[in-house]
Amino acid sequence: MNPNPVIQLQAVYKSYGSTPVLKGIDLSVSSGQIVGYIGPNGAGKSTTIKILIGMLPDYTGEATVLGMDVKTQSLDIKRRIGYVPENAALYDTLTPMEYLQFIGQLYDLDTIHIERKALELLRLFQLGDNANARMTTFSKGMRQKVLLISGLIHNPDVIFLDEPLSGLDANAVVLVKEIMRQLANSGKTIFYSSHIMDVVEKISDRIIIINQGQIIADGTFAELQHQRPESLEQLFAQLTGSDGQTGIAEEFIHALKN
């Protein structure tokens, strides 16, 4: 186990009512790593992330981020992490600048500093011309860009991303991938969940596969591929029991023709 982990979970269990979701999660993440945390729907990915960012305190086991206990020091942790959920409720009547000013002030950033930084980040995401437009008219991809900026504007040490590429166009996906790589190179730790296997395969230093609340694989893509010489998509399908998709697709096409 890493002696100075940035993220650590030990024997973490979480249930919703009588339904167990996490069944004893153990993991340790080092500084500067990009960790792809993948699994089928309902496997426990988002639950894990919500525990780590302090949104779900009713779990058993131990969870620490940056050496701080998630249950007792969640506010201190939140000041130093960034979080981008898959679906977040933006205040549609606000402009991106107004929303980012609001987020920046939550992190005690200076108003002038927030404005300068927000304008530059919006420009880089090709939203400069929309900085003062109401977000009611924004596409899903435009909203996702604003969410990404809001999760990074305070320059966090640890970044949690839940489906960060959702709705983004191809150019934006390339940009976000490069941003993630450069953030990791500067010492930031990135823990993210995604269904886009080729992205996970290409940018992750480490891939963790969770299924039915338990970690079933953990390693670099090369290490996982050495165990089973397939693509990450094929490996994922085999490990999670979803490798019968070819037959299902054939049945689907057959049904369409009848």
**How does pLDDT run across 193-242, given as a tens digit for each residue?**
987 777 888 889 999 999 899 998 898 888 887 666 566 666 666 666 65
Sequence spans of domains, the chain:
1-80+191-247
Q: What is the pLDDT of residues 165-205, one digit of tens each?
A: 888 888 888 888 889 989 998 899 999 998 777 788 888 99
Residue with tokens 């339904």: 19
Structure tokens at 12: 């973490």
Judge whether residue 243 has pLDDT over 60: no
What is the reported pLDDT for 230?
A: 62
- Please give the span between the terminal C-alpha atoms of the chain, in angstroms, as a whole number: 56
Percentage helix, strand, coil for the chain under 3-state DSSP, each rounded to 5? 40, 25, 35
Instruction: Return the pLDDT at 202.
Output: 83
Domain 1-80+191-247: homologous superfamily in CATH? P-loop containing nucleotide triphosphate hydrolases (3.40.50.300)
Over the chain, what is the mean pLDDT?
Answer: 87
Q: How many CA atoms lie within 13 A of 172 on its CB side?
A: 21
Report the amino acid identity of residue 132: N
Q: For 14-69, how does the pLDDT look when each residue is reduced to its tens digit (9 = 90+)?
A: 999 999 999 999 999 999 999 999 988 888 999 999 999 999 999 999 999 999 99
Pairing of strands 19-29, 81-84: unpaired
Confirm if 23 and 9 have CB atoms less than 8 A apart: no
For residues 33 and 158, the answer to whether their CB atoms sit within 8 Å is no
Query: What is the pLDDT at residue 253?
Result: 40
pLDDT digits (tens, 9 = 90+) for 91-114: 889 999 999 999 999 999 999 999
Residue with the bigger pLDDT between 246 and 198: it is 198
- Quick one: pLDDT at residue 256? 45
Contact 84, 151 (CB under 8 A): yes
pTM across the whole model: 0.86
